[in-house]
Every structure is written in C-alpha cells, then in structure tokens.
Structure 1
Amino acid sequence: MNWDNIPLLIILALSMIGNNHTVSVSALVLLLIPKLGLENCFQFIDKQGINIGIIILTIAVLSPVAQGRIAMNEVLDVFKAPVGLLAVVIGIFLAWVAGQGVVFMKESPETVTALVVGTIIGVCFFRGLPVGPLIAGGLVALVVNALGLFKG
C-alpha cells in the first residue's frame, strides 16, 4: 500500500460520511489516476485545474443571466440598494482572499488536506456548506501573516 494515499483516503472517508459528493468524486478521481496509468494528468491538473474549475463555477453562477431569468432592471436596481453595494464590497474582498488562498496553497500544498478536512468537518457536524478551499486558504494566509506581524 502506498502511504502517500492515506490523506486522500481519509478525505474520501470523511466526505462519504459527510455526504459531500463533490469531495468524494474528487478524491476518487485522484486515487484512480495513477491506477489507470494517467500520472501525466497531474501536471495538467496542477497547472489548469483551478482555472477550469473557476470557469465552470462562473458559468453556473452566470447561467440565470444568460437564460434571461434576471432582468436588466433587476441588475441595475441591486446596485442602488445598500445590500447590493455591500455585496459588491464583500465580493471584492472575498475574491482577494481567494487569490491569497491560491498563493498560500501553492506555497504550502500540505495544508490543502487540512483545509479540506476542516471543510468536511464543518459540513458534517456544524451544518456548514463547502465554500471551497480557496477562501479557507486565503483566510489561513491572512491569519498566518497577521500572526507573523506580531512576532516581529
């Protein structure tokens, strides 16, 4: 048995317990890639996986607009309301945090497992939603950097 697979197996088990199908499928695919002799896919996934995932997510989020379920006047009205302006500010902040998460996860890939396990525990036991490791990684990076400032 390859001990390197233990983190993925733990993530798979926790995601199945937590009924998190997205993480379950992801862990299974990553466990199957070497078994199918497709190790070269890892380089592509490492380089393009996040971009492809973000493109697919963005398509899903913009789908109601493309289908005409959100009228132009509704889009314009939301920017006039305080909640709409707050949503823009928070959207900007979270996009920046997620960007920090990408950098942090590239610099500390070993923490990705901990982020995913934490997300699964939050989903399973605290009725949370899996918002993704990018934002979680960004928040970890902010805390780590903040703590680093206090050490000096």
Structure 2
Amino acid sequence: MYSGETTMVILLLIGLVAKSNLIAICASVLLILQSSKLDFLFPYLETHGLELGLLFLLLSILVPIATDKVTTCDLLYNVSSLPGLLAIVGGILATHLNSEGLKLMQIDPSIIFGLIVGSVIGIIFFNGQPVGPLMAAGVAALFLEVLSWFN
C-alpha cells in the first residue's frame, strides 16, 4: 500500500471515529478513485475542487435569499447596522486569512494532515463545526506570521 493510500485510510478512520462525514466521504472517494484507476482526475480536483466546493457553499448560503426567507429590506438593514458592518469587516478578514491559508497549503501541502487532526480535535473536544481546512490554514498562516516576527 502506498503512502497516499495509507494516509487516506487513516483519514477515513479518523473521520469515522470523529463522526466527521465529510472527512470520511472525501477519503473514501479518493481511495475509490485511486483503486479504480480514475486517479487521472486528481489534477482536475486539485485545481478546481476548491471552486466546486465554494460553489455549493455559496448556493446553500444564498438559498434563503432566493426563497425570500431573507428579504432585500433585511439585507439593506444588516449592511447598515453595527452587526452588519462588523460582518463586512469579518468577511474581509476571513477572505484575507483564507487567501493566506491557500498560499500556505500550496507551499506546504503536507500541512493538511495537521489541519484535519486539529479540526477533528476541535470537533470532538470543543464542539467545533468543521467548515473546511482553508480557514484552519488561514489561522495557521496567521500564527506562523506572528511567530516569524519573533525570529
């Protein structure tokens, strides 16, 4: 068994133990692609998988607007209120951190294992909600940047 397959099996087991269906499903899909000789799809998934994931995330977020559960008046009020303005600042900071996290994962792809382990620990012990490794990588990039100030 190759190192990548072993790691996927470990991630599958971690996902099952941590009751993280996303990790377990992703590891299973990648194992199936590897064993069925469909691994030629890996470069496509690597370059476009993030975009596909964001597409579905945005679709789920925008459904309340499309179904009129959130009205235009609600939206206008929220961007002009203090919580709305803080949400805008939070969005700016989050997207910046995500950008830095993406750079970190491109420079050091092996960091993903630590991000997943940290996410699983957060889920199990801190009642965390997994939203993806990108934000975790952004926070890790921030920590690394702060550490670089002291070196």
- Same fold by TM-score, threshold 0.5 exceeded? yes
**Structure 1 stretches lacking a partner, 5+ long:** none
* SS of alignment partner, residue 79 of structure 1: helix
Letter in 1 for 2:43: Q
The runs of at least 4 aligned residues of structure 1 exceeding 6 Å deviation read none
TM-score, normalization by structure 1: 0.94
CA distance in 2 between partners of 1:37 and 1:22 (Å): 22
Aligned residue in 2 for 1:8: 8
Structure 2 unpaired stretches of 5+: none
Provide the residue aligned with 1:22 in structure 2.
22
Q: Is the 8 A contact 1:101 1:138 kept in 2?
A: yes
State, as a whole percentage, how many aligned pairs show the same letter.
Answer: 30
Instruction: Classify the secondary structure of the residue corresponding to 1:109.
Output: coil
Cα RMSD (Å)? 1.1
One-letter amino acid of the counterpart of residue 4, structure 1: G
The within-5 A match list for 1:90-129 is 90-129=90-129
The one of the two structures with greater contact order (alpha-carbon pairs below 8 A, sep at least 6) is 1
Q: Which amino acid aligns with 2:140?
A: V
Q: Deviations 1:57-106 (Å, cap 9, x if unpaired)?
A: 11111111111111111111112221111111011101110111111101
* SS of match in other structure, 2:6: helix
* Alpha-carbon distance in 2 for matches of 1:59, 1:24: 23
For residues 7 and 144 of structure 1, the distance between their equivalents in structure 2, rounded to whole angstroms, comes to 25
SS state of the match for residue 80, structure 2? Answer: coil
CA contact (8 A) 1:64 1:70 kept: yes
Q: TM-score, normalising length from structure 2?
A: 0.95
